[in-house]
């Protein structure tokens, strides 16, 4: 994968020597990459680690079993934590100008973990979208389809799928000495060109296009169901105010979809451009340097999604905030803040009932 390889390695290894020598010297620009990107990665790592640990602490410290949605959230936070644990290694690697300073095993396991997260996180988001679709669109008939046991099985299948998809990366990643660059780089060297083509296409299709379509379709169905319910309430002249809740839910859905696409679409776009460059569909110094620089920045911009997941999926939810309040007010004497919260909950019976339908 070009994103995690030294500059000019993935693209130039298929270019002719004459073409590479004609390209302008951009060492000053790469110096900016070596300085800015590691700082950005470490910042995302710290914020994301704290956020996901906080999410796990709320779910694991709260009394009672996890509901269906929370099972997915816990697995998503765990996947992001594994992912974020690899960031310091790659930050140091980039700061060291892609001269891998660690062992060959760490080269393999960190890249395999990154690939594992790419698949597990995306398909956990698909599972969350499906669960919310069943809750919104099939409220009365979804109880049997949304059991905790089924959610746990689904999570195991997603983790298994991610592990299988990361095996080629673990097998073919290794530290190799690059004579032209005079570095020992952690690179992905497949045994044949067909392996490389299959990996690129699989990553784009199964790692982004298909799950993105699924997320968009299910969330559009959720929006449709919300609007339909709103029209039904208007016809029945219901006096219970639900408009604000529907609006917040709709905005959250759009935020989830938009953030996911904004974070990952640029990265996969440059991965596809790199594939075209490898196939010589596009060539020249302009495309070579555009792909090299673009893949560096867009990949780590995509990784920011692991930092944002606690915010867009959990922390922005009123139900999670109330649960957080209940967990941490256990440490207050007499539980006075918790009593105030419970009084407000009793005054909003319908809202609490709706949340239980959606999040159980």
Who's near 245: CB < 8 A, 6+ residues apart?
351, 354
What pLDDT sits at residue 22? 55
pLDDT < 50: residue spans in the chain: 1-2, 10-21, 239-243, 246, 338, 341-342, 345-360
| pLDDT more than 70, % of the chain | 73
| Beta bridge mates, 176 | 185
Nearest to 47 by CA among 102, 79, 89, 87: 87
Q: Are 148 and 68 in contact (CB under 8 A)?
A: yes
Name the residue ranges covered by the structural domains of the chain: 2-316, 323-360
Query: In this predicted structure, what is the pLDDT of residue 348?
Result: 46
The model's pLDDT over 132-160, given as tens digits with 9 standing for 90+, comes to 888 777 655 555 566 888 899 999 999 99
What is the structure's pLDDT at 251?
Answer: 66
C-alpha–C-alpha distance, residues 154 and 348, integer Å: 33
pLDDT of residue 129: 86
Residue closest to 24 by CA, chosen among 307, 214, 280, 293: 293
pLDDT of residue 359: 44
- CA gap 143, 147 in Å, rounded: 7
Exposure string over 192-216, b if 16+ CB within 10 A, otherwise e: eeeebeebbeebbebbbeebbebbe
Q: What is the pLDDT of residue 19?
A: 41
Question: Tokens 């000053």 correspond to what residue?
Answer: 28
- The predicted model scores a pTM of 0.81
* pLDDT number for residue 200: 87
Residue with the two structure tokens 């109880």: 143
Which spans in 100-175 are helix H? 104-137, 148-172
From residue 216, give the alpha-carbon distance in Å to each of 48, 90, 133, 258: 25, 32, 11, 9
Cα separations in angstroms, 96 against 44, 112, 252, 304 = 19, 21, 40, 22
pLDDT at position 174 is: 93
| Residues 2-316, CATH architecture | Up-down Bundle (1.20)
pLDDT at 290: 86
What are 55-80's pLDDT values in tens digits?
888 888 876 677 887 888 899 899 99
Q: Distance (Å, rounded) from C-alpha 80 to C-alpha 82?
A: 5
């Amino acid at each position: 994968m070009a994103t995690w390889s030294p500059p000019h390695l993935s693209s130039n290894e298929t270019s002719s020597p004459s073409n590479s020598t004609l390209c302008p010297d951009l060492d000053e620009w790469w110096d900016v990459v070596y300085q800015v990107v590691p700082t950005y990665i470490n910042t995302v790592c710290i914020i994301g680690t704290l956020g996901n640990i906080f999410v796990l602490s709320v779910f694991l410290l709260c009394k009672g079993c996890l509901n269906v949605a929370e099972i997915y959230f816990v697995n998503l936070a765990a996947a992001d934590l594994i992912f974020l644990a690899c960031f310091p290694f790659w930050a140091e690697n980039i700061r060291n100008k892609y001269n891998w300073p660690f062992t060959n095993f760490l080269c393999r396991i960190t890249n395999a973990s990154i690939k594992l997260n790419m698949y597990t996180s995306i398909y956990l988001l698909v599972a969350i979208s499906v669960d919310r679709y069943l809750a919104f669109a099939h409220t009365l008939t979804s109880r049997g389809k949304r059991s905790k046991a089924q959610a746990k099985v689904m999570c195991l299948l997603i983790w298994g799928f991610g592990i299988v998809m990361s095996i080629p990366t673990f097998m073919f990643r290794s530290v190799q000495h690059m004579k032209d660059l005079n570095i020992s780089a952690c690179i992905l060297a497949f045994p044949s060109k067909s392996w490389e083509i299959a990996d690129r296409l699989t990553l784009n299709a199964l790692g982004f296009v298909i799950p993105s379509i699924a997320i968009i379709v299910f969330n559009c169905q959720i929006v449709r169901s919300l609007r339909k319910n709103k029209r039904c309430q208007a016809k029945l002249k219901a006096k219970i105010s639900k408009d604000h809740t529907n609006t917040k839910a709709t905005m959250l859905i759009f935020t989830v979809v938009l953030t996911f696409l904004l974070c990952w679409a640029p990265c996969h776009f440059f991965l596809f451009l790199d594939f075209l460059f490898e196939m010589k569909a596009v060539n020249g110094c302009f495309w070579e340097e555009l792909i090299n620089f673009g893949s560096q920045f867009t990949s780590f911009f995509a990784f920011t999604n692991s930092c944002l997941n606690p915010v867009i999926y959990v922390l922005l939810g009123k139900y999670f905030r109330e649960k957080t309040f209940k967990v941490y007010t256990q440490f207050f004497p007499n539980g006075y803040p918790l009593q105030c919260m419970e009084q407000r909950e009793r005054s909003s019976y319908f809202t609490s009932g709706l949340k239980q339908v959606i999040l159980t």
